[in-house]
């Protein structure tokens, strides 16, 4: 079995700050492996160490030359457990300024060059950006199934049995190799190797791949359609009230304090802004991905879509997988409803959305920031 693990080097959490361009600063800061990537590395090594047969493990990262420290840590972790591993550093000034889509394209090209792989592991997301988009985008570009937030994993021959954390649900799935999985926090204990251990990794265990090696591109900022807009800082003020005494008395006092602060008033939750008036179906569409059984998210997104549509003289479209109440969606701001029948998994929903978007050229597609929404939106972005 050939296993790849995608890893990312990020600033230490307590040192994260944005530069004047709105991007995270990295120069002069302490850098470390992303916590979720530590789980991906540990799981890749665990599988190679425990599954019967011969296995090859490759760790891949995109970043500046200093990102090789992350690869050294992963390789050292594997070596300490008797697993032969090597690293691939995708590094070139041409990759600077990559957003998630450009990052996924570069990583996909590298995986194709050093692959193929039976299993690709990623972290669920990086804690510096928290998009969770690179995994499904790479899966889309490679034409592979994707399982997100894997907490339980068992491999039986070429069959993968997984239990996945999806927001407020737990999903079980079975899929055959090849496949891409993203690691949840509690999948496995994370890898961690001190600097002395990393220093023992020979330089020849790491291969560097440049933009020239991957082809003409475009790469980096030139291939990144997104940019950082205005940055807003939201800071809350806490009263730091500490209660003591009997538990019953603490509970009574806590409720009193919450009531005094309006925590249980229903008026705010029951007051909704009016959506833009119906505009018909003229102009460019602003689409909303409607996730099954997520009415609150759908209502908010359709309200936002209606506002955007009014601003551009367009119309709001609800893209629905399965059944939906068209009348209710209309009340929430949809001018039109498009339904994709016979689709269940995110990969199939994304394929339907891509076909629709290719024909209709929407101004924007809005998606919920759920596990479902991130995969569908990530796949759609990679495909169009």
Host domain of residue 23:
2-223
**Token pair recorded at residue 359:** 């024909």
- Whether residues 174 and 130 share a domain: the answer is yes
**15 shares its domain with 86:** yes
* Over residues 254-269, mean pLDDT: 80
For residue 292, being part of any structural domain is answered with yes
The predicted structure's pLDDT at residue 236: 73
d(CA 33, CA 10): 6
Whether the bond into 333 is cis, omega within 30 of 0? no
Same domain, 76 and 135: yes
Could you report the per-residue pLDDT of 147-177, keeping only the tens digit for each? 999 999 999 999 999 999 999 999 999 999 9
Place 183 in a pLDDT band, splitting at 50, 70 and 90: very high
Q: Is-contact 32 127, C-beta < 8 A?
A: no
Strand partners, 183: 123, 150
| Residue 360, SS3 per DSSP | helix
Considering the domain architecture, whether residues 205 and 294 belong to the same structural domain is answered as: no
What is the band of 13 on the pLDDT scale with cuts at 50, 70, 90? Answer: low
Confidence at residue 189, expressed as pLDDT on a 0 to 100 scale: 98
What does the DSSP 8-state code read for residue 362?
-
Same domain for 308 and 217:
no
Radius of gyration of the chain (CA): 23
Mean pLDDT for 305-321 is: 95
- Predicted pLDDT at 12: 80
Could you tell me if 67 and 98 lie in one domain? yes
Beta strands in the chain (DSSP E): 2-7, 9-11, 31-33, 56-62, 85-90, 119-123, 146-156, 159-166, 169-176, 179-183, 206-209, 285-290, 315-321, 336-340, 364-366
319 and 212 part of one domain: no
For residue 309, tell me if it sits in a domain: yes
Q: With a cut of 60, say whether residue 52 has pLDDT above it.
A: yes
Same domain? 247 vs 355: no
Residue 270 has pLDDT above 60, yes or no: no
Residue 184 lies in a domain: yes
* pLDDT exceeds cutoff 60 at 271: no
Same domain, 177 and 319: no
Considering only CA atoms, which of 107, 104, 105, 178 is closest in space to residue 134?
A: 104
> Are 213 and 111 contained in the same domain?
yes
Q: Bigger pLDDT: 143 or 31?
A: 143
Q: pLDDT class for 322, splitting at 50, 70, 90?
A: confident
The fraction of the chain above a pLDDT of 90, given in percent, is 80
Helix axes 346-360, 371-383, angle to 10 degrees: 40
Q: Which residues contact 122 (CB under 8 A, 6 or more apart)?
A: 5, 6, 36, 37, 40, 134, 135, 138, 180, 181, 182, 183
Q: Are residues 194 and 68 in the same domain?
A: yes
15, 80: one domain:
yes
Mean pLDDT confidence for 7-21: 75
Residue 41 pLDDT grade (very low, low, confident, very high; cuts 50, 70, 90): very high
Tell me the pLDDT tens digit for each residue of 325-349. 999 999 999 999 999 998 889 999 9
The confidence score (pLDDT) of residue 292 equals 93
Predicted confidence (pLDDT) per residue in 195-217, tens digit = 999 999 999 999 999 999 999 98
| pLDDT for the residue numbered 229 | 77
Total domains in the chain come to 3
Q: The CATH number of the domain where 375 resides is what?
A: 3.40.50.620
Structure tokens given for 205:
């265990």
Burial class (CB in 10 A: 0-12, 13-18, 19+), 107: buried
Q: Per the structure block, which two tokens stand in for 20?
A: 């004047």
In a domain, 140, yes or no: yes
- Catalogue the E-assigned strands of 97-233: 119-123, 146-156, 159-166, 169-176, 179-183, 206-209
């Amino acid at each position: 079995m050939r296993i790849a693990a995608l890893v990312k080097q990020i600033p230490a959490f307590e040192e994260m700050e944005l530069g004047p361009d709105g991007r995270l600063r990295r120069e002069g800061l302490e850098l470390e492996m992303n916590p979720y990537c530590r789980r991906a590395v540990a799981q890749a090594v665990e599988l190679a160490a425990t599954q019967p047969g011969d296995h090859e493990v490759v760790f891949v990262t995109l970043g500046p030359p200093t990102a090789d420290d992350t690869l050294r840590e992963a390789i050292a972790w594997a070596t300490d457990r008797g697993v032969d591993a090597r690293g691939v550093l995708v590094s070139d000034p041409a990759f600077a300024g990559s957003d998630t889509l450009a990052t996924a394209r570069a990583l996909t090209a590298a995986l194709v060059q050093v692959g193929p792989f039976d299993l690709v592991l990623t972290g669920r997301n990086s804690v510096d950006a928290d998009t969770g988009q690179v995994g499904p985008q790479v899966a889309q570009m490679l034409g592979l199934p994707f399982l997100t937030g894997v907490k339980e994993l068992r491999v039986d021959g070429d069959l993968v049995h997984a239990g996945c954390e999806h927001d407020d649900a737990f999903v079980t799935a079975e899929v055959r190799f090849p496949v891409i999985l993203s690691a949840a926090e509690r999948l496995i204990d994370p890898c961690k190797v001190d600097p002395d251990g990393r220093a023992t990794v020979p330089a020849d265990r790491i291969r560097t791949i440049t933009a020239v090696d991957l082809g003409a591109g475009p790469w980096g900022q030139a291939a990144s359609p997104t940019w950082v807009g205005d940055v807003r800082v939201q800071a809350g003020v806490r009263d730091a009230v500490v209660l003591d005494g009997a538990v019953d008395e603490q509970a009574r006092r806590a409720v009193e304090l919450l009531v005094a602060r309006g925590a249980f008033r229903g008026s705010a939750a029951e007051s909704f802004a009016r959506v833009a008036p119906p505009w018909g179906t003229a102009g460019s569409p602003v689409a909303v991905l409607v996730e099954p059984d997520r009415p609150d998210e759908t209502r908010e997104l359709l309200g936002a879509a209606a506002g955007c549509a009014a601003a551009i003289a367009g119309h709001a479209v609800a893209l629905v997988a399965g059944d939906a109440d068209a009348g209710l969606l209309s009340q929430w701001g949809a001018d039109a409803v498009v339904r994709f029948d016979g689709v269940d998994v995110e990969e199939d929903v994304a394929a339907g959305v891509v076909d629709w978007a290719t024909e209709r050229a929407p101004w924007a597609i809005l998606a919920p920031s759920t596990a479902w929404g991130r995969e569908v939106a990530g796949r759609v972005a990679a495909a169009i």
